[in-house]
Structure 1
């Protein structure tokens, strides 16, 4: 099995990168949709409610969830590939912590989407704007950890 992982290392790595890009696109876009959703409702424009609910649900279920799962699968395959990760270094631990935090953020967004779908959102557009900065910080940690290997 490990020989197979080594043989397909570059393919697995490419699939991991593509998955990460798709996941991050959704992670950046969903909070932005939520900003507009919260502000439209607050401004008394409930006619947009169904459109935002549909966009948020489809983004989460059709793009973000599969992308997160494939990111994890291909990432774990990379970790299992001999010679890729030296756990005595700090960088894999920093990356792992940031990926866990990104996964938490994904789940937080899913919970907020559910609140919107049920008409129970209590957060303002400003809250979603601020939370939209979280994945940027995590992305910086992940990229610098992997590239610079601090």
Structure 2
């Protein structure tokens, strides 16, 4: 593979870490938003959620996808037969759907901070943890 492949891989991992940091934090903000009772707090959480989603989470997701697809194109002859990679890609698509759901919920909370309970958001926050465990296991262990 190309000499710069490891640089692309490093950029992919860095952007993935940033994406997961944001994707772990945003639903935590939803918990606090749902528990807030005053307008000042609700406005503060709305601003924080918007900045996190638009300024960090979405650009990190895009970068993760771009660097990942770049690596795929460079090593397609090897990757196309790797079952673990196909499973990882399915999980990344699911995580991208979760990302979209966060954007949907973020907008719902603007009009109704009590749209869902803080308990719902606490459980919702666990989904990306499970995906992260599975993705890291697939990439490192390559079980199939």
TM class, shorter-chain normalised? over 0.9
Cα-to-partner distance string for 1:62-104 (whole Å, 9 max, x where unaligned): 0001000000000000111136843223201110011011100
Counterpart position of 1:55 = 48
Instruction: Note the 1:71-90 alignment, pairs <5 A.
Output: 71-82=64-75, 85-90=78-83
Q: CA RMSD in A?
A: 1.6
Counterpart position of 2:110 = 117
Q: What is the rounded CA distance, in whole Å, between the counterparts of 2:78 and 2:128 in structure 1?
A: 24
Are residues 1:70 and 2:63 paired? yes
Counterpart position of 1:34 = 30
The 1:114–1:102 alpha-carbon spacing in structure 2 relative to 1, beyond 3 Å, is: same
Cα-to-partner distance string for 1:37-85 (whole Å, 9 max, x where unaligned): 0011xxx333201100000000000000100000000000011113684
The 1:29–1:59 alpha-carbon spacing in structure 2 relative to 1, beyond 3 Å, is: same
What is the SS of the residue equivalent to 2:34? helix
Q: What is the rounded CA distance, in whole Å, between the counterparts of 2:97 and 2:30 in structure 1?
A: 17
Q: What is the rounded CA distance, in whole Å, between the counterparts of 2:104 and 2:82 in structure 1?
A: 35
Counterpart position of 2:11 = 15
Contact 2:19 2:60 in 1 (8 A): yes
Structure 2 unmatched runs, 5+: none
Q: How many equivalent residue pairs?
A: 143
Counterpart position of 2:132 = 139
Structure 1 unmatched runs, 5+: none
Q: Which runs of 4+ in 1 moved over 6 A?
A: none
State the TM-score, normalizing by the size of structure 1. Answer: 0.89
Instruction: Note the 1:98-113 alignment, pairs <5 A.
Output: 98-113=91-106
What is the SS of the residue equivalent to 2:80? coil
